[in-house]
Amino acid sequence: MRLENIRFKGKRLDNGQWVVGDLLHSYDDGVIIIPITKVGESKGGAFSVDPSTVCQYTGLKDKEGREIWEGDIVSNGTPNNGIIIYHEGGFCLDKGNHLIWHLDALDPESIMVLGSKFDKEVKK
């Protein structure tokens, strides 16, 4: 994975919105995400996030160009949707019933992100 693809997201404690950036652990404030900005861009700040919602970017995009994140609910053209998890040193598609596929073995063009397990809205 390329260095610029190592990013995390989590839901902010103050407003429940997603924030994407670098992950920081703090003894005082729990888990914090510092937004990644481009030179000259000013988003500023660091945001406390719900640790149970922290997800890592897989470095891949689905067939519609959307980023695939840990915790995403996805379809890969087979019956039953799955969830992206981190398992045994890599990102995998967990279809339940002990059926787990490493993302490296799947064609990203066959994957469609339907939503996140942390959001209420999921595409059908």
pLDDT at 13: 92
79 in a domain, yes or no?
yes
Whether residue 7 is contained in a domain is answered as yes
| Cα–Cα distance measured from residue 93 to residue 81, given in angstroms and rounded to the nearest whole number | 9
In a domain, 123, yes or no: no
Q: Are residues 40 and 11 in the same domain?
A: yes
pLDDT score recorded for residue 40:
60
Query: Average pLDDT over the chain, rounded to whole?
Result: 86
Give yes or no: residues 36 and 84 share one domain: no
Please indicate, yes or no, whether residues 44 and 79 belong to a single structural domain of this protein. no
Q: Indicate whether 62 and 112 sit together in one domain.
A: yes
CATH at residue 62: 2.30.30.290
45 sits in the region (left: phi over 0; alpha: psi -120 to 50; else beta) called left
Clarify whether residues 72 and 107 are in a common domain. Answer: yes
Domain that holds residue 30: 3-52
* Residue type, position 79, single letter: P
> Rounded to two decimals, what is the model's pTM?
0.85
Tens-digit pLDDT profile for residues 13-63: 999 999 999 998 877 768 888 887 666 665 668 889 999 999 999 999 999
Question: Smallest Cα–Cα separation from 82: which of 51, 106, 65, 56?
Answer: 106
Mean pLDDT of all residues in 75-87:
88
Q: Is residue 99 scored above 80 in pLDDT? A: no
Same domain flag for 99 and 66: yes
Residues 108 and 70 in one domain: yes
Q: Which range is least confidently modeled, 37-51, 58-72, 73-87, 102-116?
A: 37-51
Domain count, the chain: 2
Residue 45 lies in a domain: yes
Q: How far apart are CA 93 and CA 74, in angstroms?
A: 8
